[in-house]
Amino acid sequence: MANDMIYFTLGLFLLISCYSDRVMAGDPDPLQDFCVADMDSKVKVNGFVCKDPMAVSADDFFFGGLGQAGNTDNPVGSNVTMANVMQIPGLNTFGISLVRIDYAVGGINPPHTHPRATEVLVLLEGQLLVGFIDTANKFFSKTLEKGDVFVFPKALVHFQQNVGHENALAIAALSSQLPGAQTIANTLFAADPPLPDSVLAKAFRITQELVDYIQKQFA
């Protein structure tokens, strides 16, 4: 009988510790209605400190900037217009943001990662080839039609290309107030100061002359 009691207590303890592990793994719930970013504060925290709630207005939760197409007249033929905490201070601490992506015919949003966010994209106009590569180097890809949705898992390298005959337009939601982006080609070939030629030549199994040539394309 005493043994039963010990096992029961032990089981309960294990159950509670499993459960609390899971709770601890997620972001903490907000402890107040909002924490609008105070961009003028000199205090550094993970994110932004809260503005005085009495000074918060509807404008802190508003952004009118996703109505206009971004200019796609650039080498990649696409343009990402962001709606994150930098444009909408009211997103601070909420783990969510949006982007609008415009694509010229043939334009790409080149292979990149968001270190802090999963992305879910909905295609509003045109036709897009999309894909991501997982850490086992498996490539997952689809061609999207208007209305289709695709998910890019957090931190994995992904891209989109307009494979239709008209401009394409997508809206994507990201699970961070400030997802961050590293575009692979730029990260490696346009870093400042530049990566050593010897590193890139060996990594890509090409000559240092070819490394210099590629670096010049980004200048």
Ligand X SMILES: *[C@@H]1O[C@H](CO)[C@@H](O)[C@H](O)[C@H]1NC(C)=O
CA distance 57 to 60: 6
Supply the minimum distance, in Å, between the C-beta of residue 121 and ligand X: 18
Q: Looking at beta carbons only, is 66 or 201 nearer to ligand X?
A: 66
DSSP-derived 3-state class of residue 76: coil
> In this complex, which beta carbon is closest to ligand X, that of residue 77 or of residue 179?
77
The amino acid sitting at 139 is F
To the nearest whole angstrom, how small is the minimum distance from the Cβ of residue 56 to ligand X? 28
Can you say how many angstroms the Cα of residue 12 is from the centroid of all Cα atoms in its chain?
39
Determine the Cα–Cα distance for residues 130 and 123; give it in Å rounded to an integer. Answer: 11
Q: Kindly state the smallest distance separating residue 68's Cβ from ligand X, in Å.
A: 7
Shortest Cβ distance from residue 179 to ligand X (Å)? 17
Would you say 79 or 177 has its CB closer to ligand X? 79
Which residues fall within 8 angstroms of residue 197, CB to CB, at 6 or more apart? Answer: 208, 211, 212
Alpha carbon 148 to its chain's center: 19
Question: For ligand X, which is the closer residue by CB, 79 or 93?
Answer: 79
Q: Which residues bind ligand X (CB under 6 A)?
A: 70-71, 74, 79
